[in-house]
């Protein structure tokens, strides 16, 4: 994320820590990514669902889990005027499931949904970790087996490829097994940690009481040897879970996707029930996860719906955009440009009034034309400077001479061609040809 220069004076209200303004130069990259996502997800049969930012607090407590970091200390929760507790959504899966149940979309049906928008977590802000951040999420309901998991992963791999990020992002996989399996594993892991309690750090001792499996993804280098020797969830999976995981790995290998099985990948949300995965990068420092998800077959029922298998993921848009900006050189030619094709120089009040009308005629005739008009006064020299700074290829000019002849002058600002005077129809044809080049 580009650092925004802020003006600090006493009277200016500053943005909230961890919540960013996304300025036009960067938002064009967001739009480019969003266009790819929209087209790709549609092509795989996913429909967009638009969800509220605010939900009842209970929804997140019941789904994400009371003992998770998100629910324990990261939610923006407040009471409304009637004393009801609401929370700004910290993620999209819970409210997507809530909406799918409430709108009768799940009973005996399959649904493939995606969403995009801001999420809110009260975390310690740093590069790649914000308090308002943006996720694009995908949830597939009603599908059992590993094919849908493989397809979701292949869809994201295709996206990385289209965005020019394929060489920067790698896939990690694990299976957490069914809840009963995980329960057994948790007991074994807790027993192991208790035997080694003297070697745990303070954070892990705290997690041991609240959410012990999270110790597994501790980044503390001093804990790595201890974790290396800890019991592994793979040894606890039942035959069905094991086979599913083997089949998934097989499909991915067949499809040419490289991955690493990471037994320490446990995820920070409680609802997962099988395969989990993360796409990670080395290029964003500590905040390496750019996309994460997995299977959560019990959540629909836990939130009051009929039992429905489900699997999905969410990608962190802020991190993806940072990655793209870091490799801006290789991507620049693919990004949409905000530079106008033409800049209208209008000298004097009468020329301005005439120019606005002509600009409209040009826009009607050439819908792809990006045309800026100078509506800010100034002499020819200052307007030419603005035209040049805008990056426009052409300056269109109306001064006294053009006004009297009902013509427009066109000057190529980038190549050394003599300027020409056109009537409106000839100018439309000239610009049409230039836009095709
Ligand atoms: P999550 O791992 O909490 O999963 O978040 C998914 C992605 O959101 C992360 O990999 C990261 O890229 C981005 N992200 C998370 N927190 C922040 C932050 N504070 N600042 C910037 N980016 C962030 C979920 O949210 C699940 N709902 C994913 C899912 C969907 N599982 C099944 N379906």
If we measure between CA atoms, which residue out of 295, 262, 268, 263 comes closest to residue 280? 262
pLDDT range class, residue 2, cuts 50, 70, 90: very low
If we measure between CA atoms, which residue out of 207, 217, 316, 319 comes closest to residue 267? 217
Question: Which of 18-22, 32-36, 223-227 shows the lowest mean pLDDT across its residues?
Answer: 223-227
* Ligand 1 centroid, distance to 64 Cα (angstroms): 12
Give CA separation, 209 vs 204, 205, 219, 296, in Å.
9, 7, 19, 24
**Which of 94, 100, 316 to mutate for ligand 1's pocket (most ligand atoms within 8 Å of CB)?**
316
Question: pLDDT tens, 183-214?
Answer: 899 999 999 999 999 999 998 998 898 889 88
* Ligand 1 centroid, distance to 336 Cα (angstroms): 27
* Beta pairing, strands 310-316 & 289-295: antiparallel
* Ligand 1 centroid, distance to 308 Cα (angstroms): 22
**Is any ligand 1 atom within 6 A of the Cβ of residue 93?**
yes
**Is any ligand 1 atom within 6 A of the Cβ of residue 293?**
yes
Domain residue ranges in the chain? 24-177+237-329, 342-436
Return d(Cα 63, Cα 109) in angstroms, integer. 21
* Ligand 1 centroid, distance to 297 Cα (angstroms): 19
Both tokens of 335, joined, read: 């990004």
* Ligand 1 centroid, distance to 197 Cα (angstroms): 30
- Give the whole-number percent of the chain exceeding pLDDT 90: 81
Q: Which atom of ligand 1 is nearest to the CA of 91?
A: 25
Task: Please identify, in words, the CATH class of the domain defined by 24-177+237-329.
Answer: alpha beta
Mean pLDDT for the stretch of residues 48-58: 98
* Ligand 1 centroid, distance to 205 Cα (angstroms): 25
Write the DSSP symbol of residue 72: I
Specify which residues 373 forms β-bridges with: 344
Mean pLDDT for the stretch of residues 291-300: 96
Residue 356 scores a pLDDT above 50? yes
Residue 5 scores a pLDDT above 60? no
Residue 434 scores a pLDDT above 90? yes
* Ligand 1 centroid, distance to 380 Cα (angstroms): 52
**Is any ligand 1 atom within 6 A of the Cβ of residue 133?**
yes
Return d(Cα 290, Cα 321) in angstroms, integer. 10
* Ligand 1 centroid, distance to 270 Cα (angstroms): 13
If we measure between CA atoms, which residue out of 392, 324, 376, 276 comes closest to residue 27? 324
Identify the pLDDT of residue 8. Answer: 60
Measuring from atom 1 of ligand 1, which residue has the nearest CA?
A: 292
Residue with tokens 């620049």: 332
Question: pLDDT tens, 62-98?
Answer: 999 888 889 989 999 999 999 999 999 999 999 999 9
**Is any ligand 1 atom within 6 A of the Cβ of residue 137?**
yes
If we measure between CA atoms, which residue out of 322, 291, 334 comes closest to residue 92? 291
* Ligand 1 centroid, distance to 403 Cα (angstroms): 58
Measuring from atom 16 of ligand 1, which residue has the nearest CA?
A: 129
**Which of 292, 296, 313 to mutate for ligand 1's pocket (most ligand atoms within 8 Å of CB)?**
292
**Is any ligand 1 atom within 6 A of the Cβ of residue 123?**
yes
Both tokens of 379, joined, read: 């002499």
Residue 425 scores a pLDDT above 90? yes
**Is any ligand 1 atom within 6 A of the Cβ of residue 276?**
no
**Is any ligand 1 atom within 6 A of the Cβ of residue 135?**
yes
Return d(Cα 432, Cα 426) in angstroms, integer. 10
Q: Which atom of ligand 1 is nearest to the CA of 314?
A: 28
- CATH number belonging to the domain at 342-436, selected among 3.40.50.800, 3.40.50.10470, 3.30.2130.10, 3.40.309.10: 3.40.50.800
CB 88 within 8 A of CB 76: yes
């Amino acid at each position: 994320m580009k650092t925004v220069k802020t003006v600090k004076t006493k009277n200016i209200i500053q943005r909230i820590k961890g919540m960013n303004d996304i300025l036009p130069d960067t938002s064009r990259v967001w739009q480019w990514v969003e266009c790819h996502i929209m087209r790709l997800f549609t092509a795989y049969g996913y429909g967009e669902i638009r969800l509220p930012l605010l939900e009842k607090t209970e929804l997140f407590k019941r789904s994400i889990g009371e003992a998770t970091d998100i629910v324990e200390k990261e939610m923006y929760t407040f009471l409304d005027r009637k004393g009801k507790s609401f929370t700004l959504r910290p993620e999209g899966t819970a409210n997507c499931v809530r909406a799918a149940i409430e709108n009768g979309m799940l009973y005996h049906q399959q649904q493939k949904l995606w969403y995009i928008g801001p999420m809110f977590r009260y975390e310690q802000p740093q590069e790649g970790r914000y308090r308002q951040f943006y996720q694009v999420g995908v949830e597939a309901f009603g599908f059992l087996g590993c094919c849908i998991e493989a397809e979701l992963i292949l869809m994201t791999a295709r996206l990385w490829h289209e965005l020019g990020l394929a060489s920067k992002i790698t896939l990690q996989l694990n299976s957490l097994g069914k809840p009963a399996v995980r329960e057994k594993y948790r007991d074994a892991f807790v027993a192991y940690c208790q035997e080694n309690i003297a070697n745990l750090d303070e954070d892990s001792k705290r997690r041991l009481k609240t959410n012990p499996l999270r110790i597994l993804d501790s980044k503390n280098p001093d804990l790595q040897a201890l974790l290396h020797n800890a019991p592994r969830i793979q040894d606890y999976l039942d035959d069905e879970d094991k086979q599913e995981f083997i089949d998934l790995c097989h499909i991915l290998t067949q499809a040419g996707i490289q991955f690493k099985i990471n037994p320490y990948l446990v995820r920070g949300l409680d609802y997962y029930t099988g395969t989990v995965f993360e796409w990670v990068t080395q290029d964003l420092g500590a905040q390496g996860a750019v996309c994460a998800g997995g299977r959560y077959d019990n959540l629909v029922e836990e939130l009051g719906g009929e039992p429905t298998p489900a699997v999905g993921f969410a990608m962190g848009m802020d991190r993806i955009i940072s990655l793209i900006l870091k490799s801006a050189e290789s991507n620049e030619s693919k990004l949409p440009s905000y530079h106008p094709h033409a800049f209208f120089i209008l000298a004097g009040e009468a020329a301005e009034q005439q120019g606005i009308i002509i600009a409209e005629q040009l826009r009607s005739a050439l819908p792809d034309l990006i045309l800026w008009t100078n509506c800010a006064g100034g002499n020819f020299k200052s307007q030419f400077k603005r035209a040049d700074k805008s990056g426009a290829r052409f300056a269109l000019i109306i001064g006294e001479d053009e006004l009297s002849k009902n013509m427009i002058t066109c000057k190529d600002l980038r190549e050394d061609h003599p300027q020409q005077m056109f009537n409106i129809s000839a100018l439309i044809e000239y610009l049409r040809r230039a836009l095709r080049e």
